[in-house]
């Protein structure tokens, strides 16, 4: 049987989502907990690879097993896992369901705040500069005009295409935080942080809208700003087709 495992995590202590040699990762902690509980190893396939320090409110793995996984396994796994990783559900899905390739969209949020706040320090970026919010909104809306996001992909990445379809892109205010919210059918490595860093330059008056458009059209990643720290970035949601999404709700 094939199962989807839904989880959330605070990425501060981890070198990313996927297993790496000699580095703590979310996958390694989950595999260790599953082996402890079920007394066998599992081959986990991840949905969305988040970088070191990036958080997730929702992400997925899938795995195949002959075991019948019951709901109480969620509680038992969470008792074994560290406090910064939480399993939210384990769902039986069709054998051809794939948590990465079956996904139709992913949504991210990036959080910034202006005044020093020790309770936000590890989950958002303190950015103490005045910002032109209407200008940021214009920049966010301009992204709908494009599909090629070569400019906002970090180098040394192995992808066949740099095309992405942006489904939502806006700056919103949530309490004392300013949040960039973006949804697309796929994302390139470093894309959201590159977009945020470059748009913030526009928000500070260091770029004009025409210059921002030129940066996108240049397809030159050296012109994007990837210095935005990981701690403000959250993977919010992974979306699946309706028939598969129904499997992930029915057993909650």
Question: Tokens standing for 131?
Answer: 């910002």
Other CB atoms within a 10 A radius of the CB of residue 243 amount to 11
The catalytically annotated residue of 51, 84, 122, 163 is 51
Cα-Cα-Cα-Cα dihedral sign, residues 20, 23, 24, 28? positive
Residue pair 244/96 in contact (Cβ under 8 Å)? The answer is no
What's the angle, vertex CA 87, arms to CA 86 and CA 91, rounded to 5? 165
Residue with tokens 């049987």: 1
Helix axes 133-142, 191-203, angle to 10 degrees: 140
What is the rounded distance in angstroms from the CA atom of residue 46 to the CA atom of residue 41? 16
Give me the phi and psi of 92, to 5 degrees please: -75, 135
Phi-psi region of 200 (alpha: psi -120 to 50; beta: other; left: phi over 0): alpha
Whether 51 is a known active-site residue: answer: yes
Name the residues annotated as catalytic: 51
């Amino acid at each position: 049987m094939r199962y989807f495992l839904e989880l959330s995590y605070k990425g501060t202590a981890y070198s990313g989502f996927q297993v790496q040699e000699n580095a703590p990762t979310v996958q390694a902690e989950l595999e260790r907990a599953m082996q402890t509980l079920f007394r066998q190893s599992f081959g986990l396939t991840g949905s969305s690879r988040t970088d070191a320090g990036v958080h997730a409110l929702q992400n997925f793995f899938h795995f195949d097993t002959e075991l019948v996984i019951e709901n109480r396994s969620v509680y038992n796994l969470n008792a074994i896992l560290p406090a910064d990783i939480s399993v939210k559900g384990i769902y039986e899905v069709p054998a051809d369901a794939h948590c990465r390739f079956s996904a139709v969209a992913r949504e991210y949020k990036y959080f910034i705040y202006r005044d020093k706040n020790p309770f936000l320090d590890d989950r958002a970026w303190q950015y103490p500069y005045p910002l032109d919010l209407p200008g940021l909104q214009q920049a966010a809306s301009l992204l709908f005009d494009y599909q090629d996001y070569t400019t906002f992909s970090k180098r040394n990445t192995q992808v066949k295409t740099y095309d992405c379809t942006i489904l939502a892109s806006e700056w919103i205010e949530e309490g004392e935080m300013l949040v960039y919210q973006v949804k697309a059918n796929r994302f390139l490595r470093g894309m959201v942080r590159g977009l945020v860093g470059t748009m913030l330059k526009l928000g500070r008056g260091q770029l004009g809208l025409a210059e921002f458009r030129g940066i996108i059209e240049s397809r030159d990643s050296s012109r994007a700003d990837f210095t935005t720290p990981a701690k403000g970035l959250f993977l919010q949601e992974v979306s699946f087709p309706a028939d598969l999404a129904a499997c992930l709700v029915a057993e909650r």
